[in-house]
């Protein structure tokens, strides 16, 4: 296996450097006057996997969307490789091309084949030649067990296959950072495993990732750091071991208990 | 799995018999009611007091044969106007719709212009636009301004239909779910590239049926340019009708317009079916 091909840092200037890949400081976000994120501080080191947990509406997805500049922030700063991306003079397109985001609902382009979905950004944003882009796409499809699906349209694939294509699509531009937003929440239980397998392999390849999930077992297994969000506040941060066995905050304990109870039913 | 052979149960055989009986019965009812309806309609029309005169004035085979070559000749002008105007309308409509999607403040004047254009030209009757353009532009005596009636007719139709088609495109663009835009932008695609590669190809498929509807309407409205002196199918029929006091040429014109729109409708069906097949492989 050639893990170096997964790893980010393909962009000039985006290679190894001192300091965190991502640094969020004092981030606030309101929707119609209601605060959704309230002064979030978060830093992510290279090759670190950060898992955001918390109830629905706690702000996990909004945080990811802010990092991807799909939302404008109301206060605070976000730095990618030390450069402030929340600066209004920074072009959002330049920032986004250095990250990959994967959504709960896959959001594949239904009018394109799997291969075209994956090669669109490399070709049209990064100026990679078609042959080269397709070669890399096929390589990734191969690796993630979708070798025969290059010519298929998304609506012919299962949810798990679609989500794997969405992950490959985000990977194809060799991102510095991957954001995975509830990537298994829309899937039938028997399809979750195949998607989690892909994420495991990304971690093995050293990809820096932030993911939100309701799969606590998986979170515990894959995360280097677990962050618990509650009402837009990053309430607790620690290793999976610490958060899952000995949470400091009563709210964290409560949340984990309710999730575990739900699993038992 | 062990061998399981299916022998239809008595219950199923009875169910199928009943279905056949019902199918035959509803088929018979449909046929009989259609025949009765058409029979009654024909009887009412042919027994009306004015029928012999109408038959002579509208259904005269001699007049039809005599007028046909001229009406057909005029009809080519309609087809020509239609074929030139259609791509122009598509281009104008798409351009206006795209301008309306621009959000940057620098584009405000363009956006305002696009809104004003659609508002005005959807409000003014097509016939009025044709008269204004057809008589107004030549009256300006501008150097290089077109004076040919067909060109003026094409300009007027393009202006009028461009506004409708712009709204169709805009509705199509708006109908694409915002998550598609988010996915494209998150990959680093600019607004323009997102439109070109992600939004428009999907919107295009959705707007083909309403666009066709507008184009069928356009085919008919090409006859309006007769008001500024273009000798097309309707005008030819009119000339013949006032000369010979026989309206059959109008019927010839109607037949030609219908013959043009039906293949167009089938063509769209074909396109829709093809894109369905392509996605469904």
CA of B108 vs chain A CAs: smallest distance (Å) = 20
B164 within 8 A of B156, measured Cβ to Cβ: no
Chain A residues with CB under 8 Å of B184 CB are 109
Closest chain B residue to A116, measured at CA: B197
Compute the residue count for chain B: 281
Q: Does A256 touch chain B (CB under 8 A)?
A: no
Rounded to the nearest 10 degrees, the angle between the axes of helix B61-101 and helix B149-174 is: 50
A-facing residues of B in 250-279 (CB < 8 A) are 278-279
* φ, ψ dihedrals at A58, nearest 5°: -80, -10
A188-237 pLDDT tens trace: 888 888 888 899 999 999 999 999 988 888 899 899 999 999 999 999 99
Instruction: Report the distance separating Cα B40 and Cα B37, nearest Å.
Output: 5
Q: Does B188 touch chain A (CB under 8 A)?
A: yes
DSSP letter for A111, please.
T
Instruction: Report the distance separating Cα B230 and Cα A32, nearest Å.
Output: 58
Cβ distance B281 to A155 less than 8 Å, yes or no, reads: no
| Segment (H or E) for A209 | strand A209-212
Other Cβ atoms within 10 Å of B174 Cβ, number: 13
pLDDT at residue B145, as a whole number: 84
A239-262 pLDDT tens trace: 999 999 999 999 999 999 988 888
Q: Is the pLDDT of residue A12 over 90?
A: no
A217 within 8 A of A233, measured Cβ to Cβ: no
Pairing of strands A83-84, A34-44: unpaired
Cβ distance A96 to B186 less than 8 Å, yes or no, reads: yes
- Identify which has the larger pLDDT, A100 or A4: A100
How many contacts does A have with B, using Cβ atoms within 8 A? Answer: 70
How many domains is chain A partitioned into structurally? 1
Which of B183, B188, B202 is the closest to A125 by Cβ? B188
Domains of chain B, residue spans: 10-47, 59-279
Q: Does A130 touch chain B (CB under 8 A)?
A: no
Nearest to A24 by CA among A52, A71, A66: A66
Cβ distance A169 to B187 less than 8 Å, yes or no, reads: yes
Instruction: Report the distance separating Cα B221 and Cα B164, nearest Å.
Output: 14
DSSP letter for A215, please.
-
- Map tokens 């369905």 to a residue: B276
What class, spelled out in words, does domain B59-279 have in CATH? mainly alpha
Q: Is the pLDDT of residue A1 over 50?
A: no
Cβ distance A111 to B202 less than 8 Å, yes or no, reads: yes
A100 within 8 A of A178, measured Cβ to Cβ: yes
Question: What is the Cα B222 distance to its own chain's centre?
Answer: 12
Cβ distance A107 to B198 less than 8 Å, yes or no, reads: no
Q: Is the pLDDT of residue A16 over 80?
A: no
- Non-local (6+) Cβ contacts of B185 within 8 A are A70, A92, A93, A96, B191, B194
pTM for this structure?
0.80
Task: Give me the percent of chain A exceeding a pLDDT of 90.
Answer: 67
- Map tokens 């798409």 to a residue: B94
Q: Digits of tens for pLDDT over chain B (281 positions)?
A: 567 889 889 999 999 999 999 999 999 999 999 999 999 999 999 999 999 888 888 888 888 888 889 889 999 999 999 999 999 999 999 999 999 998 888 999 999 999 999 999 999 999 999 999 999 988 888 888 888 899 999 999 999 999 999 999 999 999 999 999 999 999 999 999 999 999 999 999 889 888 988 888 898 899 999 999 888 888 888 888 888 888 888 998 999 999 988 888 788 778 777 767 765 54
Cβ distance A109 to B184 less than 8 Å, yes or no, reads: yes
- Non-local (6+) Cβ contacts of A125 within 8 A are A93, A97, A173, B187, B188, B189, B193
Q: Does A72 touch chain B (CB under 8 A)?
A: no
A49-59 pLDDT tens trace: 999 999 888 99
Bridge partners (DSSP) of residue A52 are A212, A227
Residue of A61, A85, A107, A180 for testing the chain B interface, max B β-carbons within 10 Å: A107
Question: How does residue A7 score in pLDDT terms, banded at 50, 70 and 90?
Answer: very low
Chain A residues with CB under 8 Å of B105 CB are none
The structure tokens listed for B94 are 């798409």
Rounded to two decimals, the ipTM of the complex is: 0.84
Structural domain including A235 reads 3-11+19-264
Out of A120-129, A172-181, B58-67, least confident range? B58-67
The region, left, alpha or beta by phi > 0 then psi within -120 to 50, assigned to residue B83 is alpha
Instruction: Report the distance separating Cα A82 and Cα A154, nearest Å.
Output: 37
Q: Is the pLDDT of residue A5 over 80?
A: no
């Amino acid at each position: 296996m050639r893990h170096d091909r997964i790893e980010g840092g393909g962009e000039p200037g985006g290679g190894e450097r001192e300091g965190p890949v991502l640094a969020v400081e004092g981030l606030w976000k309101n929707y119609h006057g209601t605060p959704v994120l309230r002064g979030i501080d978060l830093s992510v080191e290279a090759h670190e996997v950060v898992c955001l947990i918390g109830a629905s509406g706690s702000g996990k997805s909004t945080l990811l969307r802010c990092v991807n500049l799909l939302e404008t922030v109301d206060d605070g700063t976000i730095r990618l490789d030390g450069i402030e991306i929340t600066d209004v003079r920074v072009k959002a397109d330049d920032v986004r091309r250095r990250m990959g985001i994967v959504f709960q609902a896959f959001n594949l382009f239904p009018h394109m084949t799997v291969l075209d979905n994956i090669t669109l950004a490399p070709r049209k944003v990064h100026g990679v030649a078609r042959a080269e882009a397709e070669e890399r796409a096929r390589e990734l499809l191969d690796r993630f067990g979708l070798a025969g699906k290059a010519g298929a349209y998304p609506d012919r694939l299962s949810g798990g296959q679609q989500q794997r294509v969405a992950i490959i699509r985000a990977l194809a531009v060799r991102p510095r950072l991957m954001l995975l937003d509830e990537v298994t929440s829309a899937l039938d239980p028997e399809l979750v495993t195949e998607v989690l397998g892909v994420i495991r392999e990304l971690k093995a390849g050293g990809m820096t990732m932030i993911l939100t999930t309701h799969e606590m077992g998986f979170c515990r297994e894959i995360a280097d750091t677990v962050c618990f969000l509650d009402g837009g506040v990053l309430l607790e941060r620690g290793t999976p071991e610490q958060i899952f066995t000995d949470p400091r905050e009563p709210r964290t304990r409560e949340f984990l208990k309710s999730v575990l109870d739900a699993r038992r039913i | 799995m062990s061998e399981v052979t299916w022998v239809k149960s008595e219950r199923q055989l009875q169910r199928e018999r009943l279905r056949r009986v019902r199918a035959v019965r509803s088929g018979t009812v449909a046929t009989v009611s259609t025949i009765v309806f058409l029979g009654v309609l024909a009887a009412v029309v042919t027994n009306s007091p004015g029928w012999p005169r109408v038959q002579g004035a509208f259904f005269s085979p001699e007049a039809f044969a005599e007028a046909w070559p001229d009406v057909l000749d005029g009809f080519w002008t309609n087809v020509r106007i239609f074929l030139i105007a259609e791509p122009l309308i598509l281009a104008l409509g798409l351009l206006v719709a795209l301008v309306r999607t621009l959000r940057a403040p620098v584009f405000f004047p363009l956006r305002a212009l696009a809104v004003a254009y659609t508002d005005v030209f959807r409000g003014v009757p097509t016939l009025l636009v044709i008269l204004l353009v057809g008589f107004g532009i030549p009256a300006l005596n501008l150097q290089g301004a077109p004076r040919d009636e067909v060109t003026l007719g094409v300009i007027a139709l393009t202006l009028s239909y461009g506004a409708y088609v712009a709204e169709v495109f805009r509705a199509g663009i708006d109908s694409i779910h915002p998550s598609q835009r988010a996915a494209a932008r998150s990959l680093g695609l600019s607004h323009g590239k997102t439109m070109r590669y992600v939004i428009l190809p999907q919107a295009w498929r959705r707007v083909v049926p309403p666009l066709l509807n507008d184009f069928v309407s356009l085919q008919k409205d090409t006859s309006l340019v007769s008001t500024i002196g273009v000798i097309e199918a309707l005008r030819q029929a009119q000339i013949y009708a006032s000369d010979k006091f026989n309206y059959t040429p109008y019927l010839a014109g109607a037949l030609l317009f219908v013959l043009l729109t039906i293949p167009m409708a089938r063509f769209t069906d074909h396109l829709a079916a093809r894109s369905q097949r392509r996605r469904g492989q």
